[in-house]
């Protein structure tokens, strides 16, 4: 079955690296995503990784995927106050109808302390 879990809260100092973790249960995931939700706004896709990749880097963002442990992480280098938001991980899985179903985690609230 699909279940995506994240820790609820993370606090870091400005300039430090942030690491947000996510675990999922379905090993047949096709894509895994990281979304950012700023206060009062909708979700915005930050990055995604295909399930046959181990790592993806995009400027300050690094995504690591450990398929054996079903663990996904998002590292934000040089965290800024503008990075304060809720971060959701999500996985997509093909269902019996041939369509992908996306399941979201509970979200991790990142607080950046100046």
Chain positions contacting another protein, by CB under 8 A? 31, 35, 40-45, 48, 50, 88, 92, 95, 97-107
CB of 65 vs another protein, minimal distance in Å: 15
Q: Which of 47, 43, 31 is nearest to 91 (CA)?
A: 31
Nearer residue to another protein within complex by CB, 57 or 94: 94
**Of 1 and 99, which has the nearer Cβ to another protein?**
99
How far, CA to CA in Å, does 95 sit from each of 2, 28, 55, 89? 11, 10, 25, 19
CB 93, min distance to another protein, A: 10
Q: Is 19 or 102 the residue whose CB approaches another protein more closely?
A: 102
DSSP 39-83: TTS-EEEEEEEETT-SEEEETTEEEEEETTTTEEEEEESS--GGG
Q: Tell me the chain's radius of gyration from C-alpha atoms.
A: 14
- Minimum Å gap between C-beta 87 and another protein is 12
Smallest distance, another protein to C-beta of residue 100, A: 4
Closer to another protein at the Cβ: 3 or 16? Answer: 3
């Amino acid at each position: 079955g699909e279940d995506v879990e994240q820790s609820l809260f993370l606090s870091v100092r400005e300039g430090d690296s942030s690491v947000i973790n996510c675990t999922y249960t379905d090993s047949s995931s096709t894509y895994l995503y990281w979304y950012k939700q700023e206060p009062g706004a909708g979700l915005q896709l930050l990055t995604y990784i295909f399930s046959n990749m181990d790592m993806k880097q995009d400027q300050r963002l690094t995504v690591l995927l450990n398929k054996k442990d079903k663990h996904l992480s998002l590292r934000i280098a040089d965290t800024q106050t503008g990075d304060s938001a809720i971060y959701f991980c999500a996985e997509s899985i093909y269902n019996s109808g041939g369509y992908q179903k996306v399941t979201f985690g509970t979200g991790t609230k990142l607080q950046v302390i100046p």
